[in-house]
A and B are shown apart, each in its own frame.
Chain A
Amino acid sequence: MAEFIYLYHNTPQERDAAMGSPEAAQRNMTRWMEWMRGLEQGGHLKSAGQPLEKGGKVVRGGSGKGIITDGPFVEIKDVVGGYSIIEAKDLAEAAELAKGCPALDGPNGAVEVRPVMKMDF
Protein backbone atom coordinates (compact mmCIF):
# COMPACT_ATOMS: atom_id res chain seq x y z
CA MET A 1 0.00 0.00 0.00
CA ALA A 2 1.17 3.52 -0.78
CA GLU A 3 0.20 6.81 0.77
CA PHE A 4 -1.47 9.68 -0.99
CA ILE A 5 -2.66 13.09 0.00
CA TYR A 6 -5.99 14.46 -1.15
CA LEU A 7 -6.13 18.24 -1.40
CA TYR A 8 -9.72 19.44 -1.59
CA HIS A 9 -9.99 22.42 -3.91
CA ASN A 10 -12.96 24.72 -4.13
CA THR A 11 -13.88 28.29 -4.93
CA PRO A 12 -15.17 30.61 -2.20
CA GLN A 13 -18.40 31.01 -4.16
CA GLU A 14 -18.97 27.29 -4.31
CA ARG A 15 -18.14 26.91 -0.69
CA ASP A 16 -20.77 29.54 0.18
CA ALA A 17 -23.31 27.96 -2.15
CA ALA A 18 -22.70 24.56 -0.60
CA MET A 19 -23.75 25.93 2.77
CA GLY A 20 -26.06 28.62 1.38
CA SER A 21 -29.24 27.22 2.89
CA PRO A 22 -29.84 24.80 5.74
CA GLU A 23 -31.18 22.29 3.18
CA ALA A 24 -27.95 22.55 1.21
CA ALA A 25 -25.94 22.30 4.43
CA GLN A 26 -27.80 19.13 5.39
CA ARG A 27 -27.22 17.60 1.96
CA ASN A 28 -23.53 18.44 1.96
CA MET A 29 -22.93 17.28 5.48
CA THR A 30 -24.55 13.96 4.64
CA ARG A 31 -22.46 13.64 1.47
CA TRP A 32 -19.18 14.42 3.24
CA MET A 33 -19.91 12.05 6.11
CA GLU A 34 -20.71 9.25 3.68
CA TRP A 35 -17.55 10.02 1.76
CA MET A 36 -15.28 9.84 4.81
CA ARG A 37 -17.08 6.78 6.12
CA GLY A 38 -16.68 5.08 2.73
CA LEU A 39 -12.94 5.69 2.72
CA GLU A 40 -12.66 4.43 6.27
CA GLN A 41 -14.68 1.27 5.67
CA GLY A 42 -12.63 0.52 2.56
CA GLY A 43 -9.47 0.69 4.72
CA HIS A 44 -8.24 3.67 2.71
CA LEU A 45 -8.33 6.39 5.35
CA LYS A 46 -4.96 6.86 7.01
CA SER A 47 -5.95 10.23 8.45
CA ALA A 48 -9.08 12.31 7.94
CA GLY A 49 -6.71 15.29 8.00
CA GLN A 50 -7.62 18.82 8.91
CA PRO A 51 -9.59 21.69 7.45
CA LEU A 52 -7.55 24.76 6.56
CA GLU A 53 -8.42 28.25 7.74
CA LYS A 54 -9.63 30.59 5.04
CA GLY A 55 -7.04 33.35 5.51
CA GLY A 56 -3.24 33.19 5.37
CA LYS A 57 -0.18 34.81 3.89
CA VAL A 58 2.01 34.12 0.90
CA VAL A 59 5.69 34.97 0.94
CA ARG A 60 6.98 35.45 -2.60
CA GLY A 61 10.37 34.90 -4.16
CA GLY A 62 11.76 36.19 -7.44
CA SER A 63 11.67 39.89 -8.10
CA GLY A 64 9.23 40.45 -5.31
CA LYS A 65 11.33 38.42 -2.91
CA GLY A 66 10.28 38.66 0.70
CA ILE A 67 7.03 40.45 -0.07
CA ILE A 68 4.24 39.12 2.09
CA THR A 69 0.74 39.24 0.64
CA ASP A 70 -2.67 38.12 1.75
CA GLY A 71 -3.82 35.25 -0.30
CA PRO A 72 -3.56 33.46 -2.62
CA PHE A 73 -7.15 33.35 -1.53
CA VAL A 74 -8.28 36.71 -2.86
CA GLU A 75 -6.38 36.74 -6.14
CA ILE A 76 -6.78 33.15 -7.19
CA LYS A 77 -10.16 31.59 -7.65
CA ASP A 78 -9.53 28.26 -6.09
CA VAL A 79 -8.55 27.52 -2.51
CA VAL A 80 -7.52 24.37 -0.71
CA GLY A 81 -10.16 23.90 1.96
CA GLY A 82 -8.56 20.90 3.63
CA TYR A 83 -6.73 17.63 3.16
CA SER A 84 -6.88 13.91 3.98
CA ILE A 85 -4.27 11.16 3.89
CA ILE A 86 -5.21 8.05 1.94
CA GLU A 87 -3.84 4.55 1.50
CA ALA A 88 -4.19 2.94 -1.88
CA LYS A 89 -2.49 0.34 -4.04
CA ASP A 90 -1.27 2.91 -6.56
CA LEU A 91 -1.95 6.36 -7.97
CA ALA A 92 -4.57 4.97 -10.35
CA GLU A 93 -6.59 3.53 -7.49
CA ALA A 94 -6.21 6.69 -5.40
CA ALA A 95 -7.44 8.80 -8.31
CA GLU A 96 -10.33 6.42 -8.99
CA LEU A 97 -11.41 6.60 -5.34
CA ALA A 98 -11.38 10.41 -5.46
CA LYS A 99 -14.15 10.39 -8.06
CA GLY A 100 -16.75 9.97 -5.34
CA CYS A 101 -15.65 13.07 -3.43
CA PRO A 102 -18.37 15.68 -2.72
CA ALA A 103 -15.80 18.41 -3.48
CA LEU A 104 -16.49 17.55 -7.12
CA ASP A 105 -20.20 18.42 -6.87
CA GLY A 106 -19.61 22.00 -8.00
CA PRO A 107 -18.31 22.83 -11.50
CA ASN A 108 -15.04 24.25 -10.11
CA GLY A 109 -14.37 21.70 -7.40
CA ALA A 110 -11.31 19.45 -7.65
CA VAL A 111 -9.41 16.86 -5.67
CA GLU A 112 -5.65 17.01 -6.16
CA VAL A 113 -4.20 13.54 -5.62
CA ARG A 114 -0.48 13.56 -4.74
CA PRO A 115 1.62 10.51 -3.90
CA VAL A 116 3.52 10.91 -0.63
CA MET A 117 7.15 10.06 -1.26
CA LYS A 118 8.54 7.03 0.58
CA MET A 119 11.64 7.82 2.59
CA ASP A 120 13.27 4.54 3.54
CA PHE A 121 16.57 5.38 5.12
Chain B
Amino acid sequence: MPHFTLDGRTIPFEPGQTLMEAAMAAGVYIPHLCYHPDFEPHGSCKLCSVEVNGRICSACTFPAAENQEVISASEEVRHLRLRLTQMLFVEGNHLCPSCEASGSCELQATGYYLGMTDGHFSHFFPRREIDASHPEVLLDRDRCIFCALCVRASRDEGKNVFALSGRGIHTRLVVNSPSGKLGDTDLEATDRAAHICPVGAILVRGTAFRAPIGERKYDHRTIAQVALEEERPLVGRQHGQAED
Protein backbone atom coordinates (compact mmCIF):
# COMPACT_ATOMS: atom_id res chain seq x y z
CA MET B 1 0.00 0.00 0.00
CA PRO B 2 1.33 3.48 -0.78
CA HIS B 3 2.01 5.76 2.15
CA PHE B 4 2.94 9.25 3.22
CA THR B 5 4.32 10.57 6.47
CA LEU B 6 2.32 12.69 8.90
CA ASP B 7 4.40 14.30 11.64
CA GLY B 8 6.95 11.57 11.05
CA ARG B 9 4.41 8.78 11.29
CA THR B 10 3.80 6.51 8.29
CA ILE B 11 0.21 6.69 7.04
CA PRO B 12 -0.94 4.20 4.41
CA PHE B 13 -3.57 5.33 1.91
CA GLU B 14 -5.68 4.01 -0.89
CA PRO B 15 -5.40 5.85 -4.20
CA GLY B 16 -8.09 8.53 -4.36
CA GLN B 17 -8.13 9.16 -0.63
CA THR B 18 -7.61 12.63 0.76
CA LEU B 19 -5.07 13.35 3.49
CA MET B 20 -7.95 13.67 5.94
CA GLU B 21 -9.48 10.31 5.04
CA ALA B 22 -6.17 8.51 5.24
CA ALA B 23 -5.22 10.18 8.53
CA MET B 24 -8.60 9.48 10.13
CA ALA B 25 -8.51 5.87 8.95
CA ALA B 26 -5.11 5.56 10.58
CA GLY B 27 -6.48 7.01 13.81
CA VAL B 28 -4.91 10.44 13.55
CA TYR B 29 -7.18 13.41 14.25
CA ILE B 30 -6.83 16.56 12.17
CA PRO B 31 -9.06 19.41 13.41
CA HIS B 32 -12.00 20.21 11.14
CA LEU B 33 -15.40 21.88 11.19
CA CYS B 34 -16.73 21.86 7.62
CA TYR B 35 -15.58 18.31 6.92
CA HIS B 36 -17.81 15.32 7.60
CA PRO B 37 -17.12 11.89 6.11
CA ASP B 38 -20.71 11.56 4.90
CA PHE B 39 -20.56 14.60 2.66
CA GLU B 40 -18.55 15.91 -0.24
CA PRO B 41 -15.57 17.85 1.15
CA HIS B 42 -15.97 21.62 1.16
CA GLY B 43 -12.54 22.89 2.19
CA SER B 44 -13.74 26.22 3.53
CA CYS B 45 -13.15 26.38 7.29
CA LYS B 46 -9.42 25.74 6.82
CA LEU B 47 -9.11 24.24 10.31
CA CYS B 48 -7.63 21.13 8.69
CA SER B 49 -4.75 23.13 7.24
CA VAL B 50 -1.58 21.07 7.16
CA GLU B 51 1.81 21.70 5.68
CA VAL B 52 2.51 19.53 2.63
CA ASN B 53 6.02 19.74 1.25
CA GLY B 54 6.30 23.24 2.67
CA ARG B 55 2.90 24.52 1.51
CA ILE B 56 -0.31 24.91 3.51
CA CYS B 57 -3.14 22.75 2.14
CA SER B 58 -6.57 21.64 3.32
CA ALA B 59 -6.29 18.01 4.42
CA CYS B 60 -9.97 17.40 3.64
CA THR B 61 -9.60 18.12 -0.07
CA PHE B 62 -5.94 17.47 -0.81
CA PRO B 63 -5.26 14.07 -2.36
CA ALA B 64 -2.80 11.84 -0.56
CA ALA B 65 0.26 10.94 -2.62
CA GLU B 66 3.27 8.74 -2.25
CA ASN B 67 6.18 10.20 -0.28
CA GLN B 68 4.36 13.34 0.80
CA GLU B 69 5.67 14.88 3.98
CA VAL B 70 2.76 16.24 5.93
CA ILE B 71 3.06 18.33 9.08
CA SER B 72 0.03 18.82 11.28
CA ALA B 73 1.46 19.16 14.77
CA SER B 74 3.89 22.07 14.37
CA GLU B 75 3.59 25.25 16.40
CA GLU B 76 3.07 27.20 13.18
CA VAL B 77 0.11 25.09 12.10
CA ARG B 78 -1.35 25.19 15.61
CA HIS B 79 -1.10 28.98 15.62
CA LEU B 80 -2.84 29.17 12.25
CA ARG B 81 -5.67 26.96 13.49
CA LEU B 82 -6.00 28.94 16.70
CA ARG B 83 -6.32 32.22 14.79
CA LEU B 84 -8.88 30.69 12.39
CA THR B 85 -10.96 29.47 15.31
CA GLN B 86 -10.79 32.90 16.91
CA MET B 87 -11.87 34.48 13.62
CA LEU B 88 -14.95 32.24 13.58
CA PHE B 89 -15.75 33.26 17.16
CA VAL B 90 -15.44 37.02 16.66
CA GLU B 91 -17.14 37.05 13.26
CA GLY B 92 -20.46 35.85 14.69
CA ASN B 93 -22.14 36.15 18.07
CA HIS B 94 -20.93 33.09 19.92
CA LEU B 95 -22.10 33.72 23.45
CA CYS B 96 -21.72 30.21 24.83
CA PRO B 97 -23.57 30.68 28.12
CA SER B 98 -26.77 31.53 26.23
CA CYS B 99 -26.47 28.76 23.64
CA GLU B 100 -28.16 25.41 24.04
CA ALA B 101 -25.51 23.73 21.89
CA SER B 102 -22.92 24.60 24.51
CA GLY B 103 -21.11 21.46 25.63
CA SER B 104 -21.77 19.67 22.36
CA CYS B 105 -20.63 22.44 20.01
CA GLU B 106 -17.76 21.57 17.69
CA LEU B 107 -16.53 25.16 17.42
CA GLN B 108 -16.34 25.39 21.19
CA ALA B 109 -14.70 21.96 21.45
CA THR B 110 -12.16 22.99 18.83
CA GLY B 111 -11.38 26.03 20.96
CA TYR B 112 -10.84 23.77 23.96
CA TYR B 113 -8.67 21.43 21.92
CA LEU B 114 -6.48 24.30 20.74
CA GLY B 115 -6.21 25.83 24.20
CA MET B 116 -8.04 28.98 23.15
CA THR B 117 -8.92 31.22 26.09
CA ASP B 118 -10.04 34.39 24.28
CA GLY B 119 -11.19 35.75 20.93
CA HIS B 120 -7.95 37.71 20.44
CA PHE B 121 -9.46 40.02 17.81
CA SER B 122 -12.10 42.71 18.21
CA HIS B 123 -15.60 41.30 18.03
CA PHE B 124 -17.70 42.13 14.99
CA PHE B 125 -21.04 41.83 16.85
CA PRO B 126 -22.92 41.52 13.55
CA ARG B 127 -26.68 41.90 13.48
CA ARG B 128 -28.14 38.78 11.94
CA GLU B 129 -31.70 37.60 11.57
CA ILE B 130 -33.10 34.84 13.77
CA ASP B 131 -35.73 32.61 12.16
CA ALA B 132 -38.19 31.06 14.62
CA SER B 133 -40.91 30.41 12.07
CA HIS B 134 -40.55 26.63 12.00
CA PRO B 135 -42.47 24.72 14.66
CA GLU B 136 -39.70 22.19 15.22
CA VAL B 137 -36.44 23.79 14.13
CA LEU B 138 -34.84 27.09 15.12
CA LEU B 139 -32.38 28.96 12.92
CA ASP B 140 -30.11 31.31 14.87
CA ARG B 141 -27.84 32.92 12.28
CA ASP B 142 -25.73 34.56 15.00
CA ARG B 143 -23.89 31.27 15.33
CA CYS B 144 -23.55 30.26 11.70
CA ILE B 145 -19.96 29.55 10.63
CA PHE B 146 -20.74 28.99 6.91
CA CYS B 147 -19.49 25.41 6.90
CA ALA B 148 -22.31 24.51 4.46
CA LEU B 149 -22.89 21.14 6.10
CA CYS B 150 -26.64 21.85 6.25
CA VAL B 151 -26.52 22.94 2.61
CA ARG B 152 -24.86 19.69 1.58
CA ALA B 153 -27.00 17.49 3.82
CA SER B 154 -30.23 19.03 2.56
CA ARG B 155 -29.06 18.84 -1.04
CA ASP B 156 -28.25 15.15 -0.62
CA GLU B 157 -31.75 14.65 0.81
CA GLY B 158 -33.20 16.26 -2.31
CA LYS B 159 -34.74 19.17 -0.42
CA ASN B 160 -32.22 21.99 -0.88
CA VAL B 161 -33.55 23.86 2.13
CA PHE B 162 -30.39 25.93 2.68
CA ALA B 163 -27.91 27.94 0.61
CA LEU B 164 -25.11 30.39 1.30
CA SER B 165 -25.84 33.82 -0.13
CA GLY B 166 -24.19 37.24 -0.02
CA ARG B 167 -20.45 37.66 -0.39
CA GLY B 168 -17.34 38.17 1.71
CA ILE B 169 -17.97 39.16 5.31
CA HIS B 170 -21.66 39.61 4.35
CA THR B 171 -22.08 35.92 3.56
CA ARG B 172 -25.31 34.61 5.07
CA LEU B 173 -27.30 31.42 5.28
CA VAL B 174 -30.57 31.69 3.35
CA VAL B 175 -33.60 29.47 3.25
CA ASN B 176 -35.33 28.07 0.21
CA SER B 177 -38.89 29.37 0.39
CA PRO B 178 -40.72 32.33 -1.14
CA SER B 179 -40.86 34.05 2.26
CA GLY B 180 -37.27 33.10 3.02
CA LYS B 181 -38.56 31.58 6.27
CA LEU B 182 -37.81 28.10 7.53
CA GLY B 183 -41.45 27.52 8.44
CA ASP B 184 -42.38 27.66 4.76
CA THR B 185 -39.95 24.94 3.69
CA ASP B 186 -40.42 21.19 3.74
CA LEU B 187 -37.67 20.77 6.35
CA GLU B 188 -38.59 18.22 9.00
CA ALA B 189 -37.01 17.74 12.39
CA THR B 190 -36.01 14.24 11.37
CA ASP B 191 -33.98 15.52 8.38
CA ARG B 192 -30.25 15.06 8.54
CA ALA B 193 -29.92 18.77 7.68
CA ALA B 194 -31.60 19.69 10.95
CA HIS B 195 -29.02 17.77 12.96
CA ILE B 196 -25.75 18.25 11.11
CA CYS B 197 -24.96 21.80 12.31
CA PRO B 198 -21.63 21.67 14.18
CA VAL B 199 -22.58 24.76 16.19
CA GLY B 200 -25.86 26.08 17.59
CA ALA B 201 -27.18 27.74 14.43
CA ILE B 202 -29.73 25.05 13.56
CA LEU B 203 -31.39 23.60 16.64
CA VAL B 204 -34.16 21.04 16.93
CA ARG B 205 -36.62 22.46 19.41
CA GLY B 206 -37.58 20.70 22.59
CA THR B 207 -34.30 18.88 22.91
CA ALA B 208 -32.27 21.49 24.79
CA PHE B 209 -30.36 20.78 27.96
CA ARG B 210 -31.37 17.11 28.06
CA ALA B 211 -27.80 16.24 28.84
CA PRO B 212 -26.93 17.94 32.11
CA ILE B 213 -23.67 19.84 32.52
CA GLY B 214 -20.98 17.28 33.13
CA GLU B 215 -22.56 14.73 30.81
CA ARG B 216 -22.42 16.62 27.53
CA LYS B 217 -20.53 15.48 24.48
CA TYR B 218 -17.29 17.33 25.09
CA ASP B 219 -17.40 17.71 28.87
CA HIS B 220 -14.81 15.02 29.45
CA ARG B 221 -13.70 13.88 26.04
CA THR B 222 -11.87 16.04 23.54
CA ILE B 223 -13.13 16.61 20.04
CA ALA B 224 -10.22 14.50 18.83
CA GLN B 225 -11.41 11.49 20.82
CA VAL B 226 -15.04 11.98 19.82
CA ALA B 227 -14.27 12.52 16.12
CA LEU B 228 -12.10 9.42 15.89
CA GLU B 229 -14.77 7.35 17.56
CA GLU B 230 -17.73 8.69 15.61
CA GLU B 231 -16.31 9.55 12.20
CA ARG B 232 -13.52 7.05 11.72
CA PRO B 233 -15.87 4.15 10.92
CA LEU B 234 -17.51 6.32 8.26
CA VAL B 235 -14.31 7.25 6.46
CA GLY B 236 -14.06 5.66 3.06
CA ARG B 237 -17.78 5.26 2.59
CA GLN B 238 -19.31 6.94 -0.43
CA HIS B 239 -20.45 10.47 0.39
CA GLY B 240 -24.13 10.65 1.16
CA GLN B 241 -24.54 6.91 1.38
CA ALA B 242 -26.42 5.70 4.41
CA GLU B 243 -25.12 2.84 6.50
CA ASP B 244 -26.98 -0.38 5.87
Tell whether A and B belong to one assembly: no
- A residues lining the B interface (CB < 8 Å): none
